[in-house]
Amino acid sequence: MSIAFLGLGNMGGPMAANLVQNGEKVTGYDPDPHARDTAAGAGVSLVDSAVAAVASARIVITMLPSGAHVLDCYREIIPAAAPGTLFLDCSTIEVTDARAAADLATTGGHSALDAPVSGGVVGAAAATLTFMVGGPSEAYIAAEPYLKHMGKKIVHCGESGAGQAAKICNNMILGVSMIAVSEAFALGRGLGLTDQALFDVASTASGQCWALTTNCPVPGPVPASPANRDYAGGFASGLMLKDLRLAQAAAHAEGIPTALGKHAEQLYTAFVDQDGPGRDFSAIITSLTKDGPA
């Protein structure tokens, strides 16, 4: 079954490469020359337009920056796809955009799933991504073998948009908990606690969470966390801010009060304005500690 892969950037490039590694025939398109070269080196057949990529495909995977990109792309390619093509959007976008994209595909005679991921570029390269999938069961069953080539954990979350909903809810927890952990280290330092002492207690007590035990925002207690390399790599603050904004857009649309999610979005907005979008999101601790950078 031929697969069209549109968006061969930091995430899509290695995901497409893993499909090729598993014996799939992948035709790709990306306007960026660097993304094209890297994908070609990984065995993806490159073409000159999104329409050309979908012409011979039965599955179309998109990994694009935003909902506007996905909707524009779908409007362009849906008429060119063979009837009954499976559209799989792995980008992180608004729930409403995901539903609109699925509507475009189904109205055009195709099936569609939203399947955003967590695991970052490391998970994309290692094929250990988690996929959160929304859409009809038949489409999910058809997509699952291909998702398994790119990921380790695949969860069917419900109908169209449910994958995006799960993704933004999870990342709202993550953004809020990283700020809570960072504030605790700041307060601990003010009270004369060492970072290690606070970690030793909280990591095995009721304060335990991923933001503390895996992605610890202070250097030392968790040697693999980005804090030990000046917050290089990891999950970029700009992407955390994007996801917190998507969560707020959804909360606003649904009239759900999310006071901490809103505050987290404000703090990450201020942090990204000051520090830029590139460092790991745990670097927010450098804006919360009394003496500045940890």
Which residues are the active-site residues? 167
CB of 205 vs ligand NAD, minimal distance in Å: 30
CB-wise, 77 or 198, nearer to ligand NAD? 77
The answer to the question of residue 163 lying near ligand NAD (CB under 6 A) is no
The answer to the question of residue 35 lying near ligand NAD (CB under 6 A) is yes
CB of 31 vs ligand NAD, minimal distance in Å: 5
Determine the distance from the C-alpha atom of residue 135 to the mean position of all C-alpha atoms in its chain, rounded to a whole number: 18
- In eight-state DSSP terms, residue 93 is -
* Spatial separation of the C-alpha atoms in residues 28 and 45, rounded to whole Å: 6
The answer to the question of residue 12 lying near ligand NAD (CB under 6 A) is yes
* Spatial separation of the C-alpha atoms in residues 277 and 128, rounded to whole Å: 24
CB of 68 vs ligand NAD, minimal distance in Å: 10
- 81 Cβ contact list (under 8 Å, min separation 6): 54, 55, 57, 60, 87, 108, 110
Residue from 63, 78, 105, 272 binding ligand NAD (CB under 6 A): 63
CB-wise, 88 or 198, nearer to ligand NAD? 88
The answer to the question of residue 29 lying near ligand NAD (CB under 6 A) is yes
Q: Which amino acid is at 200?
A: D
- 37 Cβ contact list (under 8 Å, min separation 6): none
Q: What are phi and psi of 153, to 5 degrees?
A: -125, 130
The answer to the question of residue 9 lying near ligand NAD (CB under 6 A) is yes
Q: Which amino acid is at 207?
A: G
Helix (H) or strand (E) holding 46: strand 45-46
CB of 133 vs ligand NAD, minimal distance in Å: 14
The answer to the question of residue 7 lying near ligand NAD (CB under 6 A) is yes
Long-range contacts of 196-205 (CB under 8 A, 24+ apart): 196/220, 196/221
The answer to the question of residue 150 lying near ligand NAD (CB under 6 A) is no
* Spatial separation of the C-alpha atoms in residues 179 and 102, rounded to whole Å: 34
The answer to the question of residue 26 lying near ligand NAD (CB under 6 A) is no
Specify the stretch interacting with ligand NAD by CB under 6 A; choose among 24-32, 144-152, 175-183, 213-221: 24-32
CB-wise, 11 or 184, nearer to ligand NAD? 11
CB of 86 vs ligand NAD, minimal distance in Å: 18
Residue 26, strand partner residues:
3
CB atoms < 10 A from the CB of 31, how many? Answer: 11
The answer to the question of residue 48 lying near ligand NAD (CB under 6 A) is no
* Spatial separation of the C-alpha atoms in residues 192 and 190, rounded to whole Å: 5
The answer to the question of residue 173 lying near ligand NAD (CB under 6 A) is no
The answer to the question of residue 31 lying near ligand NAD (CB under 6 A) is yes
Structure tokens at 242: 């994007």
| Tally of residues, the chain | 294
Specify the stretch interacting with ligand NAD by CB under 6 A; choose among 6-14, 18-26, 136-144, 276-284: 6-14
Binding site for ligand NAD (CB under 6 A): 6-12, 29-32, 35, 50, 63-65, 69, 73, 91-92, 117-118, 120-121, 235, 239, 242
